[in-house]
A and B are shown apart, each in its own frame.
Chain A
Amino acid sequence: MTREALGEFEQLVLLAIVHLGDDVYGVPIVDEIERRTGRTVAPAAVYVTLRRLEQKGLLSSWMSDPTPERGGKARRCVKVTRAGLEMLRESRQALDQMWKGLDPGLRGNR
């Protein structure tokens, strides 16, 4: 059996991390998804997804130093792993294949 495919929201989270680069944590990821998609995102959903992606080995994480503006609490920074990038690529290819040959009108002008 093949690996479980990425869900739409998982893709959004992974892509947001890739966009943001290094030292990424929850708050900017939520902001990035909202900024790019224009939809409101429940932060809890992002954090749950981050945990799930890490359990699948598509993300790695580490704790930063605590800062006073966060009430002395540390950040959990995340990075997309090689496997994560691979999954993103596969998802993209699958989608491209599905879109291929469809009427340009359906594709829209986005």
Chain B
Amino acid sequence: MNDTSRPPRLARRLLERALPGDAREHVLGDLEEVFRRDCHTTGPVRARVRYWVKAVSFTTGFIAERWCEQSQRRSRASGPNPTGGRAMRFDVSWMDVKLALRMLIKYPGLTFVSTLGMAVAIAIGATLFSFSYSYLFPTLPLDEGDRIVGIENWDSTRNNQEHRSLHDFGTWRTELTSLRDVGAFRTVRRNLVLPGVPTEQVVVAEMTASGFSLARVPVMLGRPLLEADERKGGPAVVVIGHDVWQNRFGSSPAVIGKSIRLGAVEHDIVGVMPKGFAFPLNHSFWGPLRADPIDYERRQGPEIFMFARLAPGATREHAQAELTAIGLRAAEAFPETNERLRPLIVRFENFWADDITLGEVNFGLVLVSLLLVVVGVNVAILVYARTATRHGEIVVRTALGASRRRIVLQLFIEALVLSSVASVAGLLLTTKVLGVLDGFLTGLSSSGEFGGVPFWVDHRLSLGTMLYVAGLAILAAAIAGIIPALKATGRRIQSSLRDPGGTNAHLGRTWTALIVAEVAFSVAILPGSVFFAWQSIGQTASSPGFAADRFLTTRLLMDADLVPSARADAYAREFDARYEARVTDLIRRAASEPDVSAVTIASNHPGVEYTHFVEIEGATPSRRSTRGRQTRSIQVDAGFFEAFDVSILMGRAFRSSELNSAAARPRRDADGDGIQEGIVSSLSGVIVNRTFVRQFLSDGGVLGRRLRYVDNDERGTAAADGAAMRWHEIVGVVGDLPANPVFPGETEARVYHLIAPGQVYPSTLTVRLRSGDPAAFGPRLREIAVGLDPTLRLDQIVPLTEIYRRQQLGLHMGALAFALVALSVVLLSAAGIYALMSFTITRRQREIGIRAALGAHPRQLLASIFARALKQLALGIVAGVAASAVLDRLAEGDLMAGHATVLLPLVAMLMIVVGLAAAIGPARRGLRIQPTEALRDL
């Protein structure tokens, strides 16, 4: 992603902003020259590090220079300064910043721990902020983008949107006056077939012509879609995007009038849109939406997404009122279909990320900010412990006339410099995370309903994110700087003036409470964090346990026409028969290829199956769940286990002859694009995996035992379908696929059902290759499929390893984030406890010295010190264990999953070790104080 021959982009940007205009060009040029020289002599990595160091140095250097110039100007303007000191006249001077930087270097441990803690918290906040505002709440980059809205029909019975709203859409389109350019679209995928070019699957927006007038972006060539194009039976036309025009037609101006084949239909190209246009989501092909409400019953027909632009002068409230009135009329006229439908004006982005409100995102941001507050409090404790050691300095400065405000300001600047360093580190981390997240979402959404991330998403760091981070930095500095400063410069400072070298800062309940709270907090949250991080690592460290790199996999889809309600059933039957025939043909053709050693069909990718709950006949009910036992379930063809080299451990494999072609078939999505999962199989026998036996059938007896599905999940047809409620007999046991050799405990239970090829829509086809890169076989497989039927589409044709990689990417990110949070919490807590213990004992050094002078035995003294330390630690541990137990109970035991007896003592031990280690050093120093010295200072 990074071009290593160029200086780091972020550093360059930083410099561009920080350098004065007259110095920018030559300094950047000089630094680039040095960077190239460094690349040559030391390599790109060191060169980049050096560039960063210089960027920071130049930024601070020139900012300081500017401050000095300004202060000189001001001092000249205000006449001679009676105190003679230049910086004394200003609240903030370069000297403060310089002192703060020195503090960072002088206390490297504190700097490292605080920076890490704050950077992680800031990175989490910045990522959430950046993601939320660029993906979910953007301003559409279109003319008056903030006046573009979405319209949806809310079904209050299902508590969900009703997208089959053609009839209502027809009414709104003609009757609404507060909305203009009311339009709709749906997304379909088609094979793009061009002569001499490999076929590829493309995403097409079937959209009303009003989409183009709403976007207010004129076509680059030809014409946009027109209302006349939406008429049934009209010529097939398509508008293409700039990228298609450039890549597929060599930017030829003669492209208008040429034809391309999308699936089985030839389309005439009538227009080309300019670069960057991807409305409504991320489309490069636009065809007319030809769906006439007359052809469908109400709440039937294709799923559509609706949009509009607020008319001049109209507000959302106007539009909503008008829409509600129309909705009420429809409810009266068609109570059986419309009574529970509520038409709503929503954000345009809703169809991409529905159900998320700005309030929820802001709540999330507040929660993340709270994490920073917790981190900030920890840092404040560290800073206070450090500030307390500078008590003498503060007292002397006060005596010399420095106001309390001045000293507080200086300590605030110190904290601000610390939090600024953490912010830079946090922002760097954020850019990395956003990059990974972007790749993850692109992969995820390209297989989703809309085929990619929306056109308005810009994952680079925005000015808003920078400002948010700046806000967080100030918040952190305020907590970590001002609170300790106010405490250190409080009323007692006056009394300290008599004894500037003394250490008579008041201790007692505050410090005890802080230590107890710190220990309790750590004990309460550490076990859960450690366990979760460990579990995430366990899940992601798995390898599938078989040669996944030999498999190529794809989902088999087929174009479905929009057919009127009256013909829907007949069409569905014809579609099913055609799909089954095509899948069977494809398997036969693929298996005859010389590179292919096996071809198999399943309802999902192995390892990525849906989760269900089963009841096992004669087994004691599950202790942890009343819904049954959780297992994954998949339908496979007879050759599945052989293709994956999975051995039969007990019983027998499926036999093709067992299939009954007249068996009940699973339900199918009406437009042929969605997924309908069913557990329906023509055979009542099932095969389970080794883990299923280990987890649920350890009481003996496997073959012949029966299970049935007891869940009623939304996707499955288990409980809804009478056939699925029947009992299934276990006829065999197979090895785990995929297994998890690294963490065997993470392998899941699986149930396999037998299906015939094409019996489930959509099916997953997996091809095992004899050798070489499986991805290389992809084009050939597509060629075979298109040769059989141009409407047969291979969706997501990727090596099986890629499926697993995408699966684990999210987990990897989660694990990384958790590990970082856990690490920073551990470090901060340990450092906080260390600092507090060390500080309190240091404060008692004189007392220890005096007691020694009065004849106390060192052993007695040590016992008293450690007894007090232990008491504080014990109090904290008890409170923490109690809190942790409550949290674990609230999470129904998921927080530590029964490992509390190991985790809690471990964390308690850690706290005791840290606390006592912190007490040892100062206690020994106290014992070494000569009694005469201790008495002299009195």
Known A27-B34, A42-B57, A48-B61: A74·B29 in contact at CB below 8 Å: yes
Q: B61 contacts A71, CB within 8 Å?
A: no
User: Is A69 close to B, CB under 8 A?
Assistant: yes
Q: How large is the interface on A (under 10, 10 to 19, 20 to 34, 35 or more residues)?
A: 20 to 34
Q: Looking across the interface, which residue of chain A has its beta carbon closest to that of B64?
A: A48
Choose from A43, A44, A51, A73 the contact partner of B29 (Cβ within 8 Å): A73
Measured between beta carbons, the chain B residues less than 8 angstroms from A69 are: 32-33, 36
Known A44-B54, A48-B61, A73-B32: A25·B23 in contact at CB below 8 Å: no
Known A44-B54, A48-B65: A70·B30 in contact at CB below 8 Å: yes
* Bound Cα distance A51, B34 (Å): 20
* Bound Cα distance A26, B25 (Å): 12
* Bound Cα distance A42, B53 (Å): 10
Q: A75 contacts B30, CB within 8 Å?
A: yes
Measured between beta carbons, the chain A residues less than 8 angstroms from B29 are: 66-67, 70-71, 73-75
CB distance from A68 to the nearest CB of B (A): 10
Q: Looking across the interface, which residue of chain A has its beta carbon closest to that of B29?
A: A73
User: Is B58 close to A, CB under 8 A?
Assistant: yes
A33-58 to B contact mask, C-beta < 8 Å, 1/0? 00000000011110110011000000
* Bound Cα distance A48, B23 (Å): 10
User: Is B62 close to A, CB under 8 A?
Assistant: yes
User: Is A63 close to B, CB under 8 A?
Assistant: yes
Q: B23 contacts A51, CB within 8 Å?
A: yes
Q: B26 contacts A43, CB within 8 Å?
A: no
Q: B65 contacts A43, CB within 8 Å?
A: no
Q: A73 contacts B61, CB within 8 Å?
A: no
User: Is A76 close to B, CB under 8 A?
Assistant: yes
Q: B32 contacts A74, CB within 8 Å?
A: no
Q: Looking across the interface, which residue of chain A has its beta carbon closest to that of B24?
A: A73
Measured between beta carbons, the chain A residues less than 8 angstroms from B36 are: 69
CB distance from B332 to the nearest CB of A (A): 70
Measured between beta carbons, the chain A residues less than 8 angstroms from B34 are: 27, 43
* Bound Cα distance A43, B30 (Å): 10
Q: B61 contacts A26, CB within 8 Å?
A: no
* Bound Cα distance A48, B27 (Å): 11
Q: A51 contacts B25, CB within 8 Å?
A: no
CB distance from B30 to the nearest CB of A (A): 4
Q: B57 contacts A44, CB within 8 Å?
A: yes
CB distance from A3 to the nearest CB of B (A): 16
Q: A76 contacts B62, CB within 8 Å?
A: no
Q: Looking across the interface, which residue of chain A has its beta carbon closest to that of B26?
A: A76
Measured between beta carbons, the chain A residues less than 8 angstroms from B58 are: 43-44, 47
* Bound Cα distance A63, B62 (Å): 20
Known A43-B58, A44-B58, A51-B65: A27·B23 in contact at CB below 8 Å: no
Measured between beta carbons, the chain A residues less than 8 angstroms from B65 are: 48, 51-52
Interface size on B, residues (CB 8 A): 20
Measured between beta carbons, the chain B residues less than 8 angstroms from A45 are: 61
Known A42-B61, A43-B58: A74·B25 in contact at CB below 8 Å: yes
A62-104 to B contact mask, C-beta < 8 Å, 1/0? 0100110111011110000000000000000000000000000
Known A69-B36, A71-B32, A73-B28: A44·B61 in contact at CB below 8 Å: yes
CB distance from A25 to the nearest CB of B (A): 7
Known A51-B65, A70-B32: A26·B57 in contact at CB below 8 Å: no
Within 8 A of A (CB), among B490-527: none
Q: Looking across the interface, which residue of chain A has its beta carbon closest to that of B25?
A: A73
Q: B28 contacts A26, CB within 8 Å?
A: no
User: Is B542 close to A, CB under 8 A?
Assistant: no
Q: Looking across the interface, which residue of chain B has its beta carbon closest to that of A27?
A: B30
Measured between beta carbons, the chain A residues less than 8 angstroms from B25 are: 63, 73-74, 76
* Bound Cα distance A63, B24 (Å): 12
* Bound Cα distance A66, B61 (Å): 25
User: Is B597 close to A, CB under 8 A?
Assistant: no
User: Is B177 close to A, CB under 8 A?
Assistant: no
Measured between beta carbons, the chain A residues less than 8 angstroms from B61 are: 42, 44-45, 47-48
Measured between beta carbons, the chain B residues less than 8 angstroms from A73 are: 25-26, 28-29, 32
* Bound Cα distance A108, B25 (Å): 43
CB distance from A10 to the nearest CB of B (A): 14
Within 8 A of A (CB), among B731-775: none
CB distance from B12 to the nearest CB of A (A): 9
Measured between beta carbons, the chain B residues less than 8 angstroms from A67 are: 29
Q: A26 contacts B30, CB within 8 Å?
A: yes
User: Is B60 close to A, CB under 8 A?
Assistant: yes
Within 8 A of A (CB), among B103-142: none
B13-37 to A contact mask, C-beta < 8 Å, 1/0? 0000000000101111111111010
* Bound Cα distance A71, B31 (Å): 10
CB distance from A108 to the nearest CB of B (A): 31
* Bound Cα distance A75, B28 (Å): 9
Q: B62 contacts A26, CB within 8 Å?
A: no
* Bound Cα distance A47, B62 (Å): 9
* Bound Cα distance A70, B36 (Å): 9
* Bound Cα distance A51, B32 (Å): 20
* Bound Cα distance A70, B54 (Å): 16
Measured between beta carbons, the chain B residues less than 8 angstroms from A27 are: 30, 33-34
Q: A44 contacts B30, CB within 8 Å?
A: no
CB distance from A95 to the nearest CB of B (A): 26
* Bound Cα distance A24, B31 (Å): 15
CB distance from A9 to the nearest CB of B (A): 12
Within 8 A of A (CB), among B30-59: 30-34, 36, 54, 57-58
Measured between beta carbons, the chain A residues less than 8 angstroms from B33 are: 27, 69-70
- Chain A CB count within 10 A is highest, among B23, B29, B34, for B29
Measured between beta carbons, the chain A residues less than 8 angstroms from B23 are: 47, 51, 76
* Bound Cα distance A26, B19 (Å): 15
Known A44-B54, A44-B61: A71·B26 in contact at CB below 8 Å: no
* Bound Cα distance A51, B61 (Å): 12
CB distance from B97 to the nearest CB of A (A): 14
Measured between beta carbons, the chain B residues less than 8 angstroms from A25 are: 26, 30
Q: A44 contacts B62, CB within 8 Å?
A: yes
B236-275 to A contact mask, C-beta < 8 Å, 1/0? 0000000000000000000000000000000000000000
Q: Which residues of A contact B (CB under 8 A)?
A: 25-27, 42-45, 47-48, 51-52, 63, 66-67, 69-71, 73-76
Interchain Cβ contacts under 8 Å between A and B, 29 examples: A25-B30, A26-B30, A27-B30, A27-B33, A43-B34, A43-B57, A44-B60, A47-B61, A47-B62, A48-B61, A48-B64, A51-B23, A51-B65, A63-B25, A67-B29, A69-B36, A70-B29, A70-B30, A70-B33, A71-B32, A73-B25, A73-B26, A73-B29, A73-B32, A74-B25, A75-B26, A75-B29, A75-B30, A76-B25
Q: A70-B33, A75-B26 are in contact. List 4 more A-B contacts (CB 8 A).
A: A25-B26, A27-B30, A69-B36, A74-B25
Name the 9 nearest CB pairs between A and B, nearest first.
A73-B29, A44-B61, A76-B26, A70-B29, A44-B57, A44-B58, A71-B32, A26-B30, A48-B65
